A and B are shown apart, each in its own frame.
Chain A
Amino acid sequence: MSNYLVISAILFGIGTFTVMSRRNAIGILLGIELLLNAVNINFIAFAFQQGNAVGMIFVLFTIAITVAEVALGLAIVILIFRLKKTVQADEVNLLKG
């Protein structure tokens, strides 16, 4: 069982790395996908171990929410692209202090 958890952990780490290092905004969204997937694997592993369906229910929730979030996130990226003619995350720094 713990193997699954380790896989999940590694996937999570790669996801974090992707989010932090990708320049393209869509690339960052891909990284977020990885994160959410890692979490899903975790949930199912525990559901399996406990003989409980609750974990699966939560995974379904997560998937649904993720889909909604990706849709909106991409919509925003498209908007920013129209506005600033770029999808480089580095160039969207309007919050610079």
Chain B
Amino acid sequence: MAEGTQIIFWITAVLLLLSALGVAFLRNLFHSVLALAAVLILTAVLFLTLQAEFVAAVQILLYTGGVITLVVFAIMLTEKLIGERLTQTNRRIAIAGTISLALILFLVYAISQEQFLTFTPGFDFDTTKEIASGFLFEFVIPFEALSLLLLASLIGALVLANEDESE
């Protein structure tokens, strides 16, 4: 990778991980959500360094825009009082931490063992076009199924959220 890309990568990576830790540890839920938003945006930056522009755009639009909005609404609806945003310490932290750490180490170990086949990295074609043709040719069925899924979740969410207003 080019030098510039490298630097961007490292900065982004560090910020990414810090934000992730923020999601995990910030006591105030709202702050967690903001940290998540940061994670999502930084991920999009990472995508850019990997020459996946379209995906990065979609990430920002859908994820950062849509998901964060949803979560914020949900938080608003589920807070009893404005002031009560504190969450207590969870007694599972020790076990969870150990397991997560073990998981990370395990995965890193696995990655280090792998010999990756060397291809010529990078794309010499228009990835967006490739994605489009992929959706409409090779993966047309999953694409249609996806639209079904979205329809289903839309209806489902409506139904679930509407319960209270029935007679």
Contacts and interface: CB of A to CB of B under 8 A. Distances in A.
B163 A82 contact: yes
Nearest to A87: B78
The SS class assigned to the A binding surface is helix
Contact of B23 (A12, A30, A45, A74): A30
A29 B71 contact: yes
Contact of A10 (B73, B104, B154): B104
B121 A60 contact: no
Contacts of B80: 85
Interface size of B as a range: 35 or more
A24 to B, nearest CB: 5
A48 B9 CA distance: 14
B41 to A, nearest CB: 11
B78 A78 contact: yes
B50 A4 contact: yes
A45 B43 CA distance: 12
Contact of A71 (B21, B24, B70, B116): B70
Interface string A49-79: 1110110110111011111111110111111
B56 to A, nearest CB: 9
Interface string B35-73: 010011001001100111011001100110011001101
Interface string A1-33: 111111101111111111011111011011101
